Structure 1
Amino acid sequence: MNLEQVRALAAIVDTGSFELAARALHLTPSAVSQRVRALESSVGQVVVRRVHPCTATEAGAVLVRLARQVELLEEDSRDLLGIAREAPVVLRIAVNADSLDTWLVDLLDAAASWDDSRLRFSIVHEDRTLTLLRQGECAAAVSTVSQPVPGCRSHPLGVMRYLPVAAPGLAARFSGTDGELDWDAMPVLRYDDHDHVQEQFLAARGRATSSPASQVPSSPGLKSALLAGMGWLLVPEATVAEELTDGRIVTLSDEFVDVVLHWHVWKVPSHRLERLNDAVLQAARTGLRPLPKRPRGARSGQRVRSSGRERDGEPRLVD
C-alpha cells in the first residue's frame, strides 16, 4: 500500500467512477484501475464497490479517511514551510439542515475569510451524520450522539429547542369545542424519510397520525408548507420567532422537544481543523441554548441527551 494508491481510491469515491477519477488525477483509467488492484492486493480486501456510483467498502472507508487526513497534514506542512499551495483544502462536514439554517450561519460568516480552505457540507439527519464520518466522507459532523467515533474527539455543543406549531387556520380546524386538538387526524409535515421527530412526539403521548405525512425536502419549502396550512411541524424556535409574534403560526402545546447536539472531529493536529473548531464552538455559544449543568429528568415532550465536561459554565473540547 502506498499513498498514490490510496489517493486513487479517494478520487474514485469522490467522483463516483474510475473514469472521472482518472481525469481528476490526470491519469488513464487503466492506471487508476492498476493502483486500486494493487491496493486491494496489499490489504487483502476489496476496497471499492464497482457499481454506479462507486462507493468504498468498510475497509475502503478507512483508507479514504487516511487519504484525506494525509492531504490535510500535507497542506498544513506546506503552510508551515512557506510553500505556496496549489488550491484551497476542502473540509467536508456532515450536518443536519436545521443547524445549517440557524446557529451555523455564524460559521459561514467566519469561513468567508478563510482563503486557504473551502467548506463542503453534506446535509444528513442529525442521527445519521456519524455514518459519513465513519465512512471517511467527512472530517467533522454535528450529531445527537455523544460517543466519539474511533479516531475522533467529541464535544457537546448545546441544545436546539423544537416547538410544535401550525398555521392558525389548521389548528382551528382540528380543535374541538373543548379546545383539545385532534392530533390523530391533523395532517403532519416532515423533511424526508429519516425525519421521524413528529411521530416520536406523538408516540410519547400515546398517539399516532392517521394519514401519511406531506414530505418537503427543503427548509424554505417546508416553512412555506407550514404557513400555508398543509400540516403541523416541530420546528427550531429560532426559525419561527417572527411568525409566532405576528400570529402567522401558533404553538399547539406548551410542550417542546430539546435536542442536544454534539460536534465530532478528526484527532488530527491541523490548524485548519482547530480554526474550524473555534468557529463552530463560538457559533454554538451564540446560537444554541446552553447545556444543563447537571443531569435532569426530561419532562414529557423533551428529548435531552448530554455528555461531556464543562468549565466555568462553558463546554470545552475533550479527547
Structure 2
Amino acid sequence: MLDYPALAAVAAVVREGSFERAAAALAITPSAVSQRVRGLEERLGAILIVRGQPCEATELGRSLCAHLDQVRLLEHDLAPALGSTAAGAGDRLTLPVAVNADSLATWFPAAAAAFGRVADVSLDLTLDDEAHTANRLRAGEVMAAVTAEREPVQGCRTLSLGALRYAACASPEFVARYFARGITPQALEQAPCLRFDRRDFLQARWARAALGVERVGPVHWVPSTHGFLDMTLVGLGWGMHPCAMVEDRIAAGHLIELAPAHRVDVPLYWTVTRLHAAALNQLTQAVSTAAGEVLGR
C-alpha cells in the first residue's frame, strides 16, 4: 500500500518546483516534506525526484504522480460519502491538461469557462505543439490533451473535435513591399515569414498547396500566438493564423489573406484518460461543445 501523504509531498515538489514551495502549499515545514519524500524513496528503493532548480520527477516519480492524480479524481467523486477520511481530503482537485497554443488562444477558453461553471476543480494547463501533446499523456504528465494525433493512446479514448483552419496573412504594407507583382515562388523566397517554433511546418505546407513549393524566405521565430498576430500586423513577416482570430481583421483591411483558396486545416482530437470520473466527463463535454462551435467538421 502506498503512503499517500508521502506521495502527495512528492507531487507537490514536482508541481511547485521546490521543497520550500511544496511545504507552503501543503502547510507543513520543508523538513517534513523532505522527510516524506526521502522516506518514500527509501521504501521503494528508487529516486523519485531529481533535486535541482526546479526539481523534476524521475520516470517512476511521474508514474506515481499520475497514479495520485487518478486516485484523487476517484476520491473526489466519493468525497460526500467518505468525508474527511479520503486521502488528500480538503485539497482542491487539479486536472493536468495539455493544449496547443492556438487552441488556447481561440476556442479552448470557452471550454475552460464552461467547465469552471459546473466543476469545483482547477485546471493545470501545459502548452505544447498539437503534434506532441499526446506524448504528455504517454509520459503520465497530463490526464487529457488536445492533440493532432489520431492514433489511440493506451488507456485513453480519443474524440474528434474538428479542424482548426489557418489562413496565410500579411499586412497591406508587407504585401505591397514583397508581393506587388503577385504571390510567386520567387517572391515567397524573398519575403520573411513567421514560425512559432522549430516544429511549426504550416508555412511550408501552405506554400506546397498554394504554389507547389516548400521553400520559404527568411524566418522570424515568434513563440506566442498573440505575439505572432501582432508581428504580422506590424509587417515583420507573413504567417499562418487561425481563421477564428483573423477573419475580422481581414474584413477590416488590417490584414490581407494570401491565396484565400488555399487555407490549411489541422484536425484536432481530444484524448482523455479512461477513468470514470465526473470531472473528466464534465471537461470532455465542455471541450466537445466549445470545439463544435468554432472548429470546422
Q: Tell me the TM-score normalized by structure 2.
A: 0.87
Gap runs ≥5 in structure 1:
291-319
Shift in alpha-carbon separation, 1:135–1:101, aligned structure 2, 3 A: same
Write the letter of the residue equivalent to 1:243. R
**Aligned match of 2:292:** 285
Write the letter of the residue equivalent to 2:33. V
Higher helix share: 2
Provide the C-alpha distance between the structure 1 equivalents of 2:116 and 2:73, rounded to a whole number of angstroms. Answer: 19
**Residue pairs, 1:257-272, within 5 angstroms:** 257-272=264-279
Provide the C-alpha distance between the structure 2 equivalents of 1:285 and 1:136, rounded to a whole number of angstroms. Answer: 27
Q: Secondary structure at the match of 2:96?
A: strand
**Residue pairs, 1:38-117, within 5 angstroms:** 38-79=39-80, 86=90, 88-114=92-118, 116-117=120-121
**Aligned match of 1:310:** none
Alignment of 1:24 with 2:25, yes or no, is: yes
Provide the C-alpha distance between the structure 1 equivalents of 2:270 and 2:220, rounded to a whole number of angstroms. Answer: 31
Provide the C-alpha distance between the structure 1 equivalents of 2:115 and 2:140, rounded to a whole number of angstroms. Answer: 22
Write the letter of the residue equivalent to 1:188. C
Alignment check: 8 A CA contact 1:152 1:266 kept: yes
Shift in alpha-carbon separation, 1:24–1:246, aligned structure 2, 3 A: closer
Provide the C-alpha distance between the structure 2 equivalents of 1:43 and 1:200, rounded to a whole number of angstroms. Answer: 49
Match of 1:191 among 182, 191, 196: 196
Write the letter of the residue equivalent to 2:262. E
**Aligned match of 1:244:** 250
Provide the C-alpha distance between the structure 2 equivalents of 1:88 and 1:12, rounded to a whole number of angstroms. Answer: 16
How far 1:203 sits from its partner (Å)?
6.2
| Sequence identity percentage | 38
Gap runs ≥5 in structure 2:
none
Q: How many aligned positions are there?
A: 289
Provide the C-alpha distance between the structure 1 equivalents of 2:83 and 2:60, rounded to a whole number of angstroms. Answer: 35
- Which whole-Å deviations, capped at 9, do the CAs of 1:73-96 have from their partners, x for residues lacking one? 222111455779735422222111
Alignment of 1:157 with 2:161, yes or no, is: yes
Superposition RMSD in Å: 2.5
Alignment check: 8 A CA contact 2:112 2:286 kept: no
**Aligned match of 2:184:** 180
Alignment check: 8 A CA contact 2:165 2:265 kept: yes
Provide the C-alpha distance between the structure 1 equivalents of 2:182 and 2:292, rounded to a whole number of angstroms. Answer: 42
**Aligned match of 1:301:** none
Shift in alpha-carbon separation, 1:287–1:179, aligned structure 2, 3 A: closer
Provide the C-alpha distance between the structure 2 equivalents of 1:282 and 1:5, rounded to a whole number of angstroms. Answer: 38
Alignment check: 8 A CA contact 1:184 1:207 kept: no
Alignment of 1:37 with 2:41, yes or no, is: no
Q: Secondary structure at the match of 1:153?
A: strand
Q: Secondary structure at the match of 1:116?
A: coil
How far 1:156 sits from its partner (Å)?
1.6
